[in-house]
């Protein structure tokens, strides 16, 4: 049997290494640029957002953050212009009195980009409290009775490498009168099992007048389906 030449030996060693390097580099390049990646369906964003969330762990570690519970459930699944989500936010100590109730409409705007429109409910909003627990949430309501919060839509981008969405409102277009504010901003990052949400209000001079000054609330997903918990006979609070 003939011994391999020096050139043949070098090729046998270097070629596999080059192939691995090329594959690694191509993967990283495609991941960083999102080039050539598959289109993300709006249903994935819906699934990431849906469920029961709690900031209990963050509140326990940092007293500057409250223990907040978040319930998110799909409404009007038969509609083709959604998905639509009902969102209810309450302090852990007053779950029956949510301080924020909204409806989100999720819209796909590109291969990996989306907008979450924000709507308010007909007054008094308290009449809809706990609707997330219904078999058909907001069945007696229609989108025509909602009020769009102009300028408050959240633009989101899906990142393939980290399997998460992030984005926020744009500029100062989202009006707010809470505690002397002129406008509000929202920044959000969404993974399959965690959501970080940072809402802040600013006065006309650009000074922050409400919201956390230390960063966003970290909402850990406790359950992917709040109604499944109810059917099982347990309520995740």
Kindly state whether residue 33 falls inside one of the protein's structural domains: no
Least confident interval from 5-19, 49-63, 123-137, 195-209: 5-19
pLDDT at 212: 96
What are phi and psi for residue 170, nearest 5 degrees? Answer: -120, 125
For residue 9, pLDDT over 50 is answered with: no
Classify residue 188 as exposed, middle or buried by CB count within 10 Å of its CB (0-12, 13-18, 19+).
buried
Kindly state whether residue 23 falls inside one of the protein's structural domains: no
Range of the domain at 128: 42-231
- Residue 45 C-beta-side C-alpha neighbours within 13 Å: 31
**Which has more pLDDT, 7 or 213?**
213
Kindly state whether residue 79 falls inside one of the protein's structural domains: yes
Tens-digit pLDDT profile for residues 31-58: 554 545 689 999 999 999 999 999 999 9
Kindly state whether residue 118 falls inside one of the protein's structural domains: yes
Please state, as a whole number, how many other Cβ atoms lie within 10 Å of the Cβ of residue 194: 14
Element (H, E) at 56: helix 56-61
Kindly state whether residue 134 falls inside one of the protein's structural domains: yes
Could you tell me the CATH number of the domain that includes residue 172? Answer: 2.40.128.590
> The pTM is what?
0.83
pLDDT confidence band for 144 (50 / 70 / 90): very high
Kindly state whether residue 16 falls inside one of the protein's structural domains: no
pLDDT at 231: 61
Kindly state whether residue 36 falls inside one of the protein's structural domains: no
Kindly state whether residue 24 falls inside one of the protein's structural domains: no
Domain count, the chain: 1
């Amino acid at each position: 049997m003939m011994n391999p030449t020096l050139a043949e030996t070098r090729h046998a060693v270097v070629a596999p290494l080059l192939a691995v390097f090329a594959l690694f580099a191509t993967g990283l390049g495609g991941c960083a640029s999102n080039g050539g990646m598959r289109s993300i369906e709006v249903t994935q964003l819906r699934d990431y957002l849906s469920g029961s969330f709690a900031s209990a762990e963050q509140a326990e570690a940092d007293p500057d953050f409250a223990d907040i519970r978040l319930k998110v459930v799909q409404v009007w699944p038969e509609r083709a212009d959604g998905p639509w989500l009902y969102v209810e936010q309450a302090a852990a100590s007053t779950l029956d009195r949510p301080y924020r109730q909204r409806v989100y409409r999720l819209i796909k705007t590109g291969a990996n980009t989306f907008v979450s429109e924000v709507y308010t409910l007909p007054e008094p909003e308290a009449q809809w409290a706990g609707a997330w627990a219904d078999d058909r949430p907001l069945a007696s309501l229609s989108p025509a009775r909602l009020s769009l919060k102009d300028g408050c839509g959240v633009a989101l981008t899906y990142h393939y490498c980290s399997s998460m969405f992030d984005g926020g409102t744009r500029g100062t277009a989202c009006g707010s009168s809470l505690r002397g504010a002129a406008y509000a901003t929202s920044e959000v990052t969404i993974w399959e099992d965690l959501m970080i949400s940072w809402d802040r209000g600013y006065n006309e001079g650009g000074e922050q007048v409400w919201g956390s000054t230390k960063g966003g609330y970290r909402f850990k997903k406790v359950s992917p389906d709040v109604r499944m918990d109810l059917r099982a006979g347990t309520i995740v609070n």
